[in-house]
Structure 1
Amino acid sequence: MKTDDLIGLLAADTAPVPRHAGERRFALALAAGALVALAWVAAAYGLRADLSRIVFMPVFWEKVAMPLAVAASGLVVVFRLAHPGARVRGWWIGAGLPVLLLWIWAVTVLLQADPAARADLLLGSTWRVCVFNVVATALPVGAGLFWALRGLAPTRPMLTGAMAGWLAGAVGACVYSLHCPEMDAPFLAVWYVLGMAASAGLGAWAGRRWLRW
């Protein structure tokens, strides 16, 4: 068979892709992943008993500001990486800058704290399980994102997977915060970020295996 004939045969049954199909695919993936993550947190850990009160306090929104900002910027980065030729440009900064700001805040809190209290600010009462819990909560979000990405065309699978994991880790951290009792910036700057970084590492490994085309 000639090349032109083969191309014609492959193109014979093609149909135009609906507008914003990629956006809808990502929205469905994130919504489904976040709902499963929320159900997991509620069933496995339980929501905070004071959640209905704490969500109206500034300290709670200070706690989730970093993962929310990372999630917003990270979604743009992942979506662009899923399209060949799309430029990411300054969105890389948005995906990492919130973490840097949190680290600066955490160092400031530690420097101003009494030396005897610094260990508690860093470790809290849940440091042994925090990283695992964030990663576990991020898994359904990551699975949804990989489903969305496999329907698109990322050309850098390992990088795209890492950023998808970073995004999933941020969403997972937001959802896990509905259970987590820790509120101090030094704790969040270490253990939440480590959980997000571990999710990014898993995403890079998975992307190398499952996002090739």
Structure 2
Amino acid sequence: MKTDDLINMLASGPDVAATKLPLGRFAMLISVGVLASILIMMTTLGLRPNMAELAMLPAFWIKMAFVLALAGTGWITVSRLATPGVRTTMLPALIAAPIVLIWLVAAASLINTAPNERATLFWGDTWHYCSWLIAILSLPIFAAVLKVMRELAPTRLRLAGAGAGFAAGAAATLVYSFHCPEIQAPFIGFWYLLGILIPTGIGALIGPRILRW
């Protein structure tokens, strides 16, 4: 985006003549990032051998609905934050919605479980590396999103960086979910979210430097 175009757009007010996202280029870069993440997952972790069995359980589809909702929210977040002058007032509620829903499901699950079994629902078997694997898988997607955002001249650089990290983490969570054996809502609602927050925090830190134009 040229500086003169940006000045004219901002002078026109929010959501007026906003520059359209280059959808073809955006899709190409993000696809490369996602494919790289999938390749890393497949070659180092692999698909769950009992995926067909897991797919028969309602908890699996709750998990998939959660990660798909976050991935979609990440796309919307990047689209809004990457373009100057676009309203973002609804983003906090949009991001919070799937998180609150999974926490409600998690709370119900814990309440209906015997006290001596609740810790297992929260910790699972992979808590000590789950979040870090999500963060690692997010790296190629993160780089692709930042590349696109640099070309769109975002004005709130720290927030835009955080949005890029959130979107990358959410997409990586979707990729990782095809390996992860955990399907219980208390685990998903905490450790998956923590994995997304790692690149989100990194994005907030590096956004002002990486996205400066």
Paired residue type of 2:24: R
Q: Distance in 2 between matches of 1:77 and 1:38?
A: 22
Q: Distance in 1 between matches of 2:111 and 2:73?
A: 30
Percent sequence identity over aligned pairs:
39
Identify the residue that residue 98 of structure 1 maps to in structure 2. 98
Give the alignment's TM-score, normalised by structure 2.
Answer: 0.86
CA shift in 2, pair 1:84/1:182, >3 Å:
same
Give the alignment's TM-score, normalised by structure 1.
Answer: 0.86
Give SS of 2:22's match.
helix
Paired residue type of 2:89: R
Identify the residue that residue 68 of structure 2 maps to in structure 1. 68
User: Aligned runs of 1:176-195 on 2, under 5 Å?
Assistant: 176-195=176-195
Gaps of 5+ in 2: 5-18
Asked which structure has the greater CA Rg, the reply is 1
Greater alpha carbon shift after TM alignment, 149-158 vs 67-76: 67-76
Q: Distance in 2 between matches of 1:178 and 1:169?
A: 15
Give SS of 1:48's match.
coil
Identify the residue that residue 172 of structure 1 maps to in structure 2. 172
Q: Distance in 1 between matches of 2:170 and 2:103?
A: 16
User: Which consecutive segments of 4 or more residues in structure 1 shift more than 3 A?
Assistant: 52-59
* Residue-by-residue CA offset, 1:130-184 (whole Å, 9 max, x unaligned): 1100101111111110111111110011100101111111111110011000010
Count of residues in correspondence between the two structures: 196
Paired residue type of 1:142: F
Identify the residue that residue 158 of structure 2 maps to in structure 1. 158
Contact residue 166 and residue 199 of structure 1 kept, 8 A: yes
Contact residue 59 and residue 184 of structure 2 kept, 8 A: no
Alignment root-mean-square deviation, CA: 1.8
Using the TM superposition, give the Cα deviation of residue 123 of structure 1 relative to its aligned residue in structure 2, in angstroms: 0.5
Identify the residue that residue 196 of structure 2 maps to in structure 1. 196
User: Aligned runs of 1:111-150 on 2, under 5 Å?
Assistant: 111-150=111-150
User: Aligned runs of 1:29-68 on 2, under 5 Å?
Assistant: 29-52=29-52, 54-55=54-55, 58-68=58-68
Using the TM superposition, give the Cα deviation of residue 67 of structure 1 relative to its aligned residue in structure 2, in angstroms: 2.1
Paired residue type of 1:42: M
Q: Distance in 2 between matches of 1:24 and 1:91?
A: 24
Using the TM superposition, give the Cα deviation of residue 50 of structure 1 relative to its aligned residue in structure 2, in angstroms: 2.0
Paired residue type of 2:138: A
Gaps of 5+ in 1: 1-6, 8-18
User: Aligned runs of 1:80-99 on 2, under 5 Å?
Assistant: 80-99=80-99
